[in-house]
Amino acid sequence: MRLTGKSFAFILALAALAACGRDPDAFYRRGNLAYSRGETMKAIELYTRAILLKKKFPEALTSRGLAYERVRDTGKAENDYRKAMDMDPSYAPPYNNLGALYLDAGNYEQAGKYLDLALQKDPENPLAMLNRGIVHLKQKNAVVAVNYLTRAIELKKDLALAWFQRAAAYGELRQWPQAVYDMDEFIRLQPRVAQAWFERGRFKFRSGDTVGAIADFNKAVDLRPEVSAYRYWRGVAVYRTGYREGALEDAVEAYTLDNGNARARVLAGDIRAAAGDVPGAIAEYEAAAEADPAHTEFYSGRARALAGRGRNK
């Protein structure tokens, strides 16, 4: 999932597409249509023709920049956004998109700078408000992030990503009911995103709703059975209910899918230890130490402690 919202001046005017001639606006509309169909290189070609025919066309430059991003040519995307800014400094979308580009790259200081400029030019821009909120969330300013994301939602109720990110911000603040509510809204808008079910499951788990968490983890696993983390967290929740066999099955599946999942090895070790399988538990802890050498002493310590208790019996 993309973490950012990009502005795309999307005008799907289907009339008179065949009669482009030398009409830059017609080429621009055809570019938008090609982009919407996933024909990105064709869209770039059409935007380029529009730009060549119209001296001042910041909308086409911004849209071509977004198309360049789709094909991972961020250098050309940045260049187009900057050209659009120079062409019309009052036009907010390229500022938002450049800010989002920096956000994607992890350059939060530059991202904030351009997103602030976007909001100065268009204070009611929901995508810029969304992205500014994400920057604050990345910078650990969850309270400020909630304010920006709330405003983004007020401006555009169906902006699914704003609900997702505000849920994450509430999660950082440990405000579990609000986090669950926001993820409810995101799932209502985007029911096939496994990550959303997973995150809502973790919010429920941390609020003490283990049964609800398991139901959400089940959905996440159904949608993306290959994701190790979903299996691991379902195992943790199932183990809390006392169902060791089911929890162990998930833990083993989690580290089978991802040999580097040391947490799943530890979970499996804890379950085996609780069931009295000391050799099996020690083997799991030792495997965790191999998978995560940076914390070898922690895992080895668990194995030694368990072996010591076994000898004292």
CATH number of residue 238's parent domain = 1.25.40.10
- 212's tokens: 């609800």
- Terminal alpha carbon distance of the chain: 52
Whether residue 63 lies inside any domain: the answer is no
- 251's tokens: 């833990």
Whether residue 13 lies inside any domain: the answer is no
DSSP 71: T
Whether residue 280 lies inside any domain: the answer is yes
**Cα dihedral 258→192→99→57 (10° resolution):** 130
Query: Where does residue 19 rank: exposed (0-12), middle (13-18), buried (19+ CB within 10 A)?
Result: exposed
Q: How many other β-carbons are positioned within 10 Å of the β-carbon of residue 37?
A: 10
CA separation, residue 133 to residues 39, 157, 175, 201 (Å): 31, 16, 17, 23
Whether residue 47 lies inside any domain: the answer is no
What CA–CA distance (Å, rounded) separates 22 from 107? 40
- pLDDT tens across the length of the chain (313 residues): 445 677 655 434 444 444 456 899 999 999 999 999 999 999 999 999 999 999 999 999 999 999 999 999 999 999 999 999 999 999 999 999 999 999 999 999 999 999 999 999 999 999 999 999 999 999 999 999 999 999 999 999 999 999 999 999 999 999 999 999 999 999 999 999 999 999 999 999 999 999 999 999 999 999 999 999 999 999 999 999 999 999 999 999 999 999 889 999 999 999 999 999 999 999 999 999 999 999 999 998 888 888 876 544 4
- 289's tokens: 């130490």
Whether residue 76 lies inside any domain: the answer is no
What CA–CA distance (Å, rounded) separates 136 from 119? 15
What CA–CA distance (Å, rounded) separates 312 from 297? 22
Query: Where does residue 90 rank: exposed (0-12), middle (13-18), buried (19+ CB within 10 A)?
Result: exposed
Whether residue 213 lies inside any domain: the answer is yes
pTM of the model: 0.88
What CA–CA distance (Å, rounded) separates 57 from 98? 17
- Say if CB 146 and CB 166 are below 8 A apart: yes
Q: How many other β-carbons are positioned within 10 Å of the β-carbon of residue 143?
A: 10
What CA–CA distance (Å, rounded) separates 180 from 202? 9
- 256 lies in which domain range? 192-313
Taking the alpha carbons of 282, 284, 287, 293 in that order, is the dihedral positive or negative? negative
Helix extents (H) in the chain: 24-36, 40-53, 58-70, 74-87, 93-104, 108-121, 126-138, 142-155, 160-172, 176-189, 194-207, 210-223, 228-240, 244-257, 262-274, 278-291, 296-312
What total number of domains does the chain contain? 1
DSSP 55: S
Whether residue 279 lies inside any domain: the answer is yes
